[in-house]
Structure 1
Amino acid sequence: MKGQAEGELQRSSWRLARQTGALLVLLLVAIAGSVLLIVNTSQASAAQRLLTTATEHVDSIVDAPAGTRLAISNQGTLTVSPGMPTGLPDVKAMEAVAANRVAAEEDVSIAGRSYIVRTAASDGRIVQAVFDRHESLEELNRLGAALLLTCGGAVVVASLLAVWLARRAMRPMAEALDRQRRFVADASHELRTPLTLLSMRAQMLKRRMASSSPQEPMLNIDADVDAMIEDSRSLTRLLEDLLISADSRKAEFTNVDVVALADDVVESFSVQAARRGVTVERSGIAGPVEIAAVPTALRRLFVALLDNAVRFAGSRVDVGVSSDVRSLVITVRDDGPGFADDVKMRAFERFATSAPADATAGDGAAPRHYGLGLALVAEVAAQHGGRVEIGTQPSGAVIIVHLPTIRRNPGNSSAAGSKVRAAVSRLRRMF
């Protein structure tokens, strides 16, 4: 897949990744915020229980709970735990509680450290407990940093994963869109020439008929009509190729006698080939050989191979049907100029063009145009789990198709959309 479809796929993938990342950021921020809130609330509750226990149930500074320091005023005597922060105890708060007997609590910050100070009256004593929040805040900060790193990594990984998944999920749609665009371009390109030629022949015939008189009968009308009929047939074959290329319906496999089918197509091409001075013969297996295949697609494969061979053959085309251990081999040989080296790698692409193999530099030979035929051969072979290749021989061209005798998982033929198929069907009915 190339060009515009690839660019659209890439943009869509990154857009989906950004949206997924943004949604994941919001979700993780909400989760991280909830976790920090829960932890902070738990720490505050634990600190509150610790301070309440220290101020209401402790009689001596020696019995101060871990993480707290006490100041106890008993009958005018103040005792203070070792390591009490500078500026504490808060004597004014203790005097106020002694006066109104109402417990008081406040947050105090000293030298960049945060403390919770609770003062209460207990059994005739005034007790002030100081809880250092530094370790709790450090733990909360570490948890926040861990959540930030984890969430950030999760966002990056999820975004990259979203890009990968989006490309996998959207690639079939992008390829279908690309095939539809290519199909429209292919159809427009291929239909222009035969339609123009047919229109010109019809106009010329009309003018000749209008200029002729009963006394001067028009000459060569049969030749003109035959040419128009041949143009119509060429156009019909092209439309059939386009319809097959655009058909996305599930193929139905049945047992097909390949030998009988090859004989039938060879016989149908004999008259057309004779007009060009070309003899078409069938060789190889004579008896019936059946494989699981789509009859119409397999017939079209033979038609496309013979059409290509007869068009470029000098005098002879040979259609061989043989078999090996695992596959049926269809070989079509002609004695024409063969394939140029530069086209062998792309002969099965749609509308490949190349100079004839026997052309010399500067001789002005028209490029050879391969149209849809060989591309359809490759598609039909792939649809049946097989492959197609260009063989080698001293002169002329040889195309070899390998079809498995045991049915594998076939791929669907390329799709270009129902609207395009309908348009081509309408064009076909016109002719």
Structure 2
Amino acid sequence: MFAKIRRRLLLSYLIVLSLILGGFAIAVRIVFTYSLYKQQTQKLAALAQFAAANVEFENGRIKIDNYLRQNKLLTNHQGLHWFDTQGNLIVKKGSDTFDLSIPLTEGEQVNTIDKNRIQSVTLPIIRKNSKQTIGYVRASQSLEEFDETLKKLDLGLCGGIFVALIISSVGGVWLTRQAMQPIEKSFARLKQFTADASHELRSPLMAIKSNAGVALKYPAGMRETDAEKFQAISSATNQMTRLTEDLLFLARHDHVPSHSRETVNLSAILENLVQLYQPQAIAKQIHLKSHLMEKLYLLGDTNQITRLFTNIIQNAIYYTPSEGTVEIIASRSAADILVNIQDTGVGIATKDLENIFERFWRADKSRSHNSGGSGLGLAIAQAIAQKHGGLITVTSQLEIGSIFTVHLPAIPLNQC
């Protein structure tokens, strides 16, 4: 039980940490991308301004001085293009990878050419004297290095998150154990108290039951009303005895020694239980049927396995109305034994299914009747199944019925 809680705590912790780290990584990437892109845009704008400022206009034509080295532009994966006012190319320098068909648009833009992203900044060339626009200059640069830098950043962030989660999972295991220790100790003390109290209650309950039984056996001189009171005392004592026995079992079921297990013939147990409860079913006008596969063997405690199915069958008969049906179907797969106990009873609401194996729990409608039971029958059945490496599942619909499925590990056929 606590192992499951520890796993849920650890999973919740890792999910929250993943969301925090993921949000942090996204924020870092956005800020870094914006800063890097803005920095590159500013560099291109500065290059375009420099190229525009050093243009001369002679005889109605733009003259480009050879002040920018071709190899420097190539090294930086940059290119410069000068255009006249009609958008016709005059001179180009730098990389030849930039397609000249890019529309001449003043300002900053990004275009994709042959799967390569190209960033460009276009500025007007203004004549100093007349302030007249005499052409345009476009500075371009490949975003390949920019994208590669972002890929490295993504790889680093993802790798950092992965490593952080691994380290955190190791630390989380230790933290959850530390956090659960006080709870486990308190639960252990509570179980011990329950076991001790249940054990100590046995003797006084037995004394009350014995004296009430003697009084009822020799009613001479006893008034009729007194006999009714003693009968009520005896009935209440029986109910309290069953409750203490159930509590004692639940408090101690984790400590059943493994060497007490033996080969259990489940087919024989189920057949005996069907015969045992057939008179009760007939008295209530319920059809109790069974379809049992032969040679269903498992390792376990015969008394506990018998108690497991007794609780479920009693439960099915009690909550099935007259003319209803209770059917027991037992089969096996390669490694498991499957036993379905299905009834046409009052059923259980879907929202209540996850609670039916809780101790003392009763549904508002289908379990609200005063059955005289302790409310621990299904909890005990589930505890026994889990102790034997199995599990009980249930499906149900209101006013239609329920199907309890018991999964238990089977002994291989060649070992039976």
Q: Which band: TM-score by shorter chain? A: 0.3 to 0.5
Give the TM-score of the pair, scaled to structure 2: 0.45
Give the TM-score of the pair, scaled to structure 1: 0.43
- Give 1 or 2 for the bigger CA radius of gyration: 1
The answer to which structure, 1 or 2, has the higher relative contact order (CA under 8 A, 6+ apart) is 1
